[in-house]
Chain A
Amino acid sequence: MKKKQRTISLSRLSLITVLFLQWSSLHAQEEFTLSGTVTDEATGETVLGASIAVPNLKTGVVTNEYGFFSLTLPSGTHNLIISYLGYSTISREITLNQNMKLNFTMVEEANQLDEVVVVQNAEKNNIRTPQMSVNKLTSKTIKKIPTVLGEPDVIRSILLLPGVSNAGEGASGFNVRGGSADQNLILLDEAIVFNTSHLFGFFSVFNTDAIKDLNLYKGGIPARYGGRLSSVLDIYQREGNNKEFKMNGGIGVISSKLLLEGPIVKDRGSFLLAGRSSYAHLFLQAAGEENLASFYDLNTKISYKLNDNNSLFLSGYFGRDNFQISDSFVNTYGNSVANLRWNHLFSEKLFSNLSLIYSDYYYGLELDVRGFEWESHIINFNLKYDLKHYLSKRITLDYGVNNIYYRFRPGEIRPNSENSGINEEEFTNTYGNEFAVYIDADHKISDRLSLRYGVRWSYFNRLGQDEFNVYENDTPVLYNEEFQIYQSATPIRVDRFDRSESLAEFTNFEPRFALSYLLNDNTSVKLSYNRMAQYLHLITNTNSPTPLDVWAPSGPYIEPQTLDQYAVGYYKDFANQEYSLEVEAFYKEIDNRIDFIDGADIIANEEIETVLLNGEARAYGLEVLLRKNRGRLNGWIAYTLSKSEQRTPGRTPNEPGINNGEWYNALFDRPHDVAVNASYTFNDKWAMNANFIYQTGIPTNLPIGQVEQLGLTVPIYGGRNQSRLTDYHRLDLSVTLTPRKNKNRKWQSEWVFGFYNIYNRRNAASYSFEENRETGQNEAIRTSIFGIVPAISYNFKF
């Protein structure tokens, strides 16, 4: 009986299958797929985010991060419009009666200012797609933004976007929507970058000459990204020119750079090699200065197209910073990243990319006055396989797997000479493995309604380590009720675990959802929800991360952080797309936000769990971005109104937690944040660019009294972050001169003259409170980093 039932159901199933296949083949007779790549005609480099539109069908697609597109259309003759910011728009009629491969090459537009060409500004939010809370910047825009000392800077540029701030000059990292700096996933050609700054935040590690463009996701984050809570900064490097050999460079006040690129095999393979180095230290050295600071970095990429369906990319980054105070203190740190990728096209509808990434962040220190050398590393191997499936004209799927193996070497101390009294010691290495699978669907329900929905499943396994501290009652932090302070517990035992064992395991389902609804051709509303999980924590309790901050993996004593973010947005293009307006509101909640006990010593602390408390955080706000997309004057005005708070309650009723367990301002709380970026082109010779930034002052602490102990005057403090520094604001200007004689020659050059902080505002970076030993008076001392800084740089290419 049972058997029969099964037969019936099987036959039913096959009937349905047959019907389905017939139905789909019926449709297949009417629909074909057009696929290909879009490249730059002069350089052969792929163009990311170029739009391929079919106006009469009101449909279209944009190229993916490898310049590939796939578009399913009914058979027949169609008019295609291919457009990208800064390139001449192509209009092309095609007749589609079978699946077709078609590659487009685009020509960069000359500066034809008077001629009004309507192109989609690639940097403005696409009002039709469900993706919201994303900002795109091309390297062209980044290069126009004035910076301190004239070196174009990725991180400084994104600070001009709504919802993005940092702790001011000389602060590395950035904060997105009230999140901490370690909650940003920063990807350079898909490789995770742990430290983004040179010279403690004065420069970012990304060489803008080697960069094509970047996307910053602040919310509605697609399921293919994970591992960080607040944002994804996805940076794409250029492949290099595969047509002819080119060279360009720049000479600045404190650093210079040079980029070489050219074909390995014409039209098939190219290389790119870019280097930057500071040299101010050389002058200082010549002047007898013993305290030096310098950096250099190197970007390389080799691209090779094996055939129409296969391409290989090998990219690398190597950067180092060096500080020296005579010979007594030497500090070196930086990233090394190597990355091999293979693009494979299974069919005109199925694109895949396999990435193999190795990265090592190194921090080294030699301190002669104490006779030791110190070294730490974060090493990770990352294997990723991502597929993009253009399923039908309505549905595109993204799916893939990702596995990251981490090895943390928190520190190794060695005597630096034979006379040193230091014993060699290595802190226990820790290991973790992060695995994730995801699927995400982009679903066009109707001409007006589009959805994106997906889920990411992540699994973190904290692997065994040689020495694992065990505390009484599993409590590494004790509350001393007598002294009313939190204190570090002493381990009762040290256990040994094999690497194949697991100390702790965590899994998270991370649903992602986004919706866009087109009110009319120029107006849309969007909403999104995303849940994220983060298994690594940057242990820092300063205003901004420092290179020596350690990363700690989740484990028995540190829970993974998780976030839920909700956002809604309103988008409008007007005056024939000359202007666009984006308004977004967001609310996010973070669980397991770590906080620090008072006086936590986090540097070179092997028992870091003994200074951490578990809390939560929340942030909410409103962002407004008004852009002028073209014309002699273009740019944007961004305003953010937001609140970012955290709370660390006591674990028992007898404990006060931090600030008595009440919500308090996070260090990244900036209630008001205004950024204006404007550029004006006078003629083909002169152009001007200006930035203005205004931010509410950073939360800080003022003393509530003083005591004298051991002959020292000691300020005493109340709760955390109860006061603020004065508001931060500054104006930067730069002028670019492109000599007219450039026109008909190979050697192209430009001069950039700039002023950072032109009205010389002394923005407070911090206050410190101390006794002046000369006068015996107590003083409040303001530290400010940059006053007005002029800069001049010369850029060339040939």
Chain B
Amino acid sequence: MKKIFHIVALTLVLTSCEDVVDLDTPTGEVRLNIDAHFRVYTQEVPVRATGQVVITETVNFFEENIPTVSGANVTITERGTGVVHILEETEQGSGVYEADNLNFLNNFEETFDFSVAVDGQLYSATAQTIPTAPIINIKQGDLEIFGEEDLEIIVTISDNPDRRDFYLFDFGFALYTPLDDQFFDGNDFEFSFLYTEDDEVDLQPGDVITVISDGIDEQFFNYMELLLEQADGGGAIFSSPPATVRGNIVNQTDMGNIAFGYFRVSEAIAQDYTVLED
């Protein structure tokens, strides 16, 4: 809901001007950042599960190189069965950790315990696989808000009436829309997404885009709203004061030495769409 109302601020932006300025920003203490997102495509045959863990360190906002963290012990444990799955670093120094087979995540009843042990610190988080809603239609619209390069994609989903649902829609190119079914519970719901010039996507007729519908919980929904707001610059005139975006990773060794990042598992449904002539 928040994002929707932010469009109000845009009218102001139309009359204002923006420029890039040189600023010195402070650097806080170095913290770990653990980016751990997993998807289970339950509707596909065969069922497919994807995801990886990326571990990095925080750096100054203007630093171009982000240091990766190697040598961590990364595991996901099925709480019910006690089975431990180890994720290995893909190559030394990459900071990327993967497992060969993630199909064990295709279990809505199970709780998954995630842990990262590195430099004498133990970080942990838990997640369950959250169900999502099917995409029943994707079409193109002709709405233009920011300019002629705007491309409107209209997505229709079928919401489950029995649950309070939260979704994250992934339009590729690190472009996301979180949704909360508060106002359309149980309905087929149609909403628009705009690819704009600033997104630097430059989609042409014939290009294929993939829209992914992820099921998420309320905590991750709030986290994503805040994350997107911050990534979008924060600090704009009508936006709320920037806040530290804290995920669900807990340092079990030293609570004060916090880590950023999130561990979540979503049911996902992907749908391709071929861009037509505008």
Contact = CB atoms under 8 A, between A and B. Distances in A.
Nearest to A329: B7
Nearest to A202: B15
A773 B16 CA distance: 21
Contact of B58 (A421, A706, A762): A706
Interface in B223-278: 225-228, 230-248, 250, 255, 258, 260-262
B151 to A, nearest CB: 13
Given A328-B143, A603-B1, A704 B28 contact: yes
Interface residues of A, number: 89
A170 B35 contact: no
Interface in B40-76: 54, 56, 58-64, 66
Contact of B238 (A542, A605, A784): A542
Given A702-B23, A762-B19, A782-B19, A544 B192 contact: no
A766 B244 contact: no
Interface stretch (B80-88, B96-104, B107-115, B182-190): B182-190
Interface stretch (A27-35, A479-487, A583-591, A632-640): A479-487
A472 interface: no
A748 to B, nearest CB: 34
B120 interface: no
Nearest to B37: A710
Contact of A715 (B1, B18, B230, B246): B230
Contacts of A543: 237
A556 interface: no
B191 to A, nearest CB: 6
Interface in A762-794: 762, 764-771, 773-774, 777-785, 787
Interface residues of B, number: 89
Contacts of B234: 701, 715, 717, 768-769
B1 A604 contact: yes
A707 B61 CA distance: 8
B5 A604 contact: yes
A451 to B, nearest CB: 44
A97 B62 CA distance: 85
A548 B11 CA distance: 14
Contacts of B208: none
Contacts of B66: 706, 708
B94 to A, nearest CB: 14
A421 B258 CA distance: 41
A784 B17 contact: yes
A543 B1 CA distance: 20
Nearest to B225: A601
A706 B63 contact: yes
Nearest to B63: A706
A783 B12 CA distance: 10
Contacts of A487: 219
Contacts of A762: 17, 19
A766 B237 contact: yes
Contacts of A293: 11
A542 B240 contact: yes
A284 B16 CA distance: 17
B50 to A, nearest CB: 13
Nearest to B258: A484
Interface string B133-173: 00000000001110000000000100100000000000000
A784 B61 contact: no
B7 A705 contact: no
B237 A770 contact: no
Interface stretch (A369-377, A442-450, A507-515): A369-377
A533 interface: no
A164 B228 CA distance: 35
Contacts of A367: 4, 7
A200 B17 CA distance: 16
A423 interface: yes
A223 B17 CA distance: 46
B18 A421 contact: no
B20 to A, nearest CB: 5
B25 interface: yes
Interface string A271-308: 00000000000000000000101000000000000000
A625 to B, nearest CB: 30
A50 to B, nearest CB: 43
B33 interface: yes
Contact of B255 (A326, A484, A711, A787): A484
A701 B235 contact: yes
B235 A709 contact: no
Given A702-B23, A766-B236, A421 B1 contact: no
Contacts of B156: 421
Contacts of B11: 200, 291, 293, 323, 325, 331
B22 A784 contact: no
Contacts of B184: 421-423
Interface in A310-326: 323, 325-326
A783 to B, nearest CB: 5
A716 interface: yes
A667 to B, nearest CB: 8
A368 B228 CA distance: 22
Contacts of B60: 705-706
Contacts of A662: none
Q: Which of B236, B240, B248, B250 has the most CB of A within 10 A?
A: B240
Contacts of B145: 291, 325-326, 328-329
Contacts of A771: 231
A423 B26 contact: no
Given A325-B10, A367-B7, A783-B16, A706 B244 contact: no
Q: Which of B10, B176, B219, B241 has the most CB of A within 10 A?
A: B241
B61 A705 contact: yes
A703 interface: yes
B244 A783 contact: no
Contacts of A721: 241
A46 B13 CA distance: 44
Nearest to B15: A785
28 contacts: A291-B14, A325-B11, A329-B7, A421-B190, A422-B184, A423-B183, A425-B183, A482-B250, A541-B241, A542-B240, A702-B25, A704-B25, A707-B260, A709-B35, A709-B261, A712-B227, A714-B231, A714-B245, A718-B26, A768-B232, A769-B234, A773-B198, A777-B64, A778-B61, A781-B20, A783-B13, A783-B237, A784-B18
Q: Please give me the 5 A-B residue pairs with the lowest Cβ-Cβ distance, nearest first.
A: A768-B233, A704-B28, A711-B174, A598-B243, A421-B189
Interface of B: 1-2, 4-5, 7-8, 10-23, 25-28, 31, 33, 35, 37, 54, 56, 58-64, 66, 143-145, 156, 159, 174, 176, 183-192, 198-200, 219, 222, 225-228, 230-248, 250, 255, 258, 260-262
Given A702-B26, A706-B59, 16 more contacts: A325-B145, A326-B143, A326-B145, A369-B192, A421-B159, A485-B246, A598-B246, A604-B2, A702-B25, A708-B54, A708-B56, A714-B231, A716-B58, A765-B16, A778-B64, A781-B233
